[in-house]
Amino acid sequence: MTYLAKPTLHHPTLAKNRVGYTRRDYEGKMSTLCAGCGHDSISAAIIQACWELDIEPHRVAKLSGIGCSSKTPDYFLGNSHGFNTVHGRMPSVLTGAYLANRELIYLGVSGDGDSASIGLGQFAHLMRRGVNMTYIVENNGVYGLTKGQFSATADKGSKSKRGQVNVDAPIDLATLALVMGATFVARGFSGDKTQLIPLIRAALAHQGAAVIDVLSPCVAFNNHTGSTKSYDYLREHNEAVNRLDFWPPREEITVEYGEGEVTDVGQHDGSIVRLRKLHADYDPGDRIRAMSYIQEHAACGEVVTGLLYVDPEACDLHQQINTVDQPLNALGASDLCPGSAALENINASLR
Ligand SMILES: Cc1ncc(C[n+]2csc(CCOP(=O)(O)OP(=O)(O)O)c2C)c(N)n1
Ligand code: SF4
Ligand SMILES: [Mg+2]
């Protein structure tokens, strides 16, 4: 039941992060999802990533659409701001919130139905505008909440639980994010938290549009033979192109690797993404090659995961449209409405 809160009492010896919170302070209510649902593993990875990054929970705004995936923000970061929007409309609400207040850390959580079916237009425009946020798609290839219809990410030829064959071509959200201009694009698997947690940490630190398409099996409707989004299929066909380590600006890099095995990518805020290559020919700095790489491997039934593309020089929406630094609710009436003389000046400058 969604109203079930977890007990707030913490064991006094629980480890605290630098800002004084235990991992449990990043949890939410009890999950009501099916036992074994991939989405719950993603919630756990978000909790771990935010705790490790020493993010103060009240600095996060989590937004979602409609679906089992979009319900999950209730199950993590219970002390953060939250907004559960209409189906497929999270991107525009997130954009508005970000324009009004850039001081929060924006986390969008959505499903493949929410983002690739009803919300496809919203998804595309969010990417091309460079909104500074982390967008996690919990991708199971079906509409889990409405009992397992194929979504637009279901592979052509894959089978439903009742044996129906999907005849439509799939939409690959990582490729679409690349085409539309996202500056951090990754793919993960809910069954591989070792890969997923650093991806979430790096995405949260990225100053631009960051997307992680996380394959997240639906155990109730899409975990059978013939499905290409089941645990078994994803374990067998997962091709990780790299492994990631991530250090925030203030942390000293302590892990050593042999020369030639790793590439360090510095992000705007001084944080470092360290990539260990697993595929010698993969370059996450090459947007065009990333698209063809994903598609070439998809054609052989392989699911490419890891950090697929990053632009460390990303420029975000506020920079592009040159807005004021302060949140709009901190501006006075005279700033928000500077009067007819100011309007006259603007009009004159446009004549
Ligand atoms: C405007 C509108 N149309 C349809 C629905 C019904 N509906 C609810 S959730 C959903 C699909 C959810 O699929 P997805 O985003 O993949 O989430 P999942 O449940 O698989 O995690 C649909 C079609 C709705 N709530 N609102
Ligand atoms: S129906 Fe599928 S997506 Fe929804 S909670 Fe159950 S396993 Fe997860
Ligand atoms: Mg889904």
pLDDT, average across residues 153-179:
97
Distance 57 CA to ligand 1 centre (A): 28
Residue closest by Cα to atom 6 of ligand 2 = 34
pLDDT of residue 259: 59
pLDDT of residue 269: 85
Of the listed ligands, the closest to the CA of 71 is 1
Write the DSSP assignment of 132-198 as a string of letters.
SEEEEEEE-SEETTTT-EE-TTSPTT-B-TTSPBP-SPPP-HHHHHHHHT-SEEEEEETT-HHHHHH
Of the listed ligands, the closest to the CA of 119 is 1
pLDDT, average across residues 63-75:
98
Say which range, 23-37, 118-132, 180-194, 262-276, has the weakest mean pLDDT: 262-276
pLDDT of residue 296: 95
Residue closest by Cα to atom 6 of ligand 1 = 146
Using an 8 Å Cβ cutoff, are 130 and 106 in contact?
A: no
pLDDT, average across residues 226-230:
98
Distance 73 CA to ligand 1 centre (A): 16
Greatest alpha-carbon pair distance for the chain in Å reads 69
Structure tokens at 260: 């030639």
- What is the residue type of 156? K
pLDDT of residue 253: 73
pLDDT, average across residues 12-18:
93
Residue closest by Cα to atom 2 of ligand 2 = 218
Q: What percent of the chain has pLDDT over 90?
A: 85
Confidence of residue 304 (pLDDT cuts 50, 70, 90): very high
pLDDT of residue 258: 63
pLDDT exceeds cutoff 80 at 9: no
pLDDT exceeds cutoff 70 at 1: no
**pTM of structure:** 0.95
Provide the mean pLDDT of the chain.
94
87 ligand 1 Cβ < 6 A: yes
Instruction: Tell me which of 31, 37, 139, 160 to substitute to probe ligand 2's pocket, judged by most ligand atoms within 8 Å of the beta carbon.
Output: 37
Q: Under 8 Å CB-to-CB from 121, ≥6 apart: which residues?
A: none
What ligand 1 atom has the least distance to the C-alpha of 218? 20
311 ligand 1 Cβ < 6 A: no
Choose the most confident range, by mean pLDDT, from 243-257, 259-273, 328-342. 328-342
Q: How far apart are CA 63 and CA 138, in angstroms?
A: 14
Distance 89 CA to ligand 2 centre (A): 21
Confidence of residue 277 (pLDDT cuts 50, 70, 90): confident
pLDDT, average across residues 224-242:
97
pLDDT exceeds cutoff 80 at 4: no
Structure tokens at 228: 């290409």
Structure tokens at 222: 């899409």
Distance 139 CA to ligand 1 centre (A): 12
What ligand 2 atom has the least distance to the C-alpha of 147? 1
pLDDT exceeds cutoff 70 at 320: yes
pLDDT, average across residues 316-327:
92
pLDDT exceeds cutoff 80 at 256: no
What ligand 2 atom has the least distance to the C-alpha of 69? 3
Instruction: Tell me which of 145, 153, 229, 230 to substitute to probe ligand 1's pocket, judged by most ligand atoms within 8 Å of the beta carbon.
Output: 145
Confidence of residue 268 (pLDDT cuts 50, 70, 90): confident
Residue closest by Cα to atom 9 of ligand 1 = 67
pLDDT of residue 14: 92
Name all residues whose Cβ lies below 6 A of ligand 2.
33-34, 37, 39, 68, 140, 144-145, 218-221
Q: What percent of the chain has pLDDT over 70?
A: 97
pLDDT of residue 302: 95
Q: How far apart are CA 62 and CA 291, in angstroms?
A: 29
Q: What is the pLDDT of residues 107-126, one digit of tens each?
A: 999 999 999 999 999 999 99
pLDDT of residue 3: 60
Instruction: Tell me which of 146, 149, 222 to substitute to probe ligand 1's pocket, judged by most ligand atoms within 8 Å of the beta carbon.
Output: 146
pLDDT exceeds cutoff 80 at 12: yes
Q: Which has more pLDDT, 39 or 316?
A: 39
Q: Which CATH number fits domain 23-321: 3.90.550.10, 3.40.50.970, 3.30.420.40, 3.40.50.1400?
A: 3.40.50.970
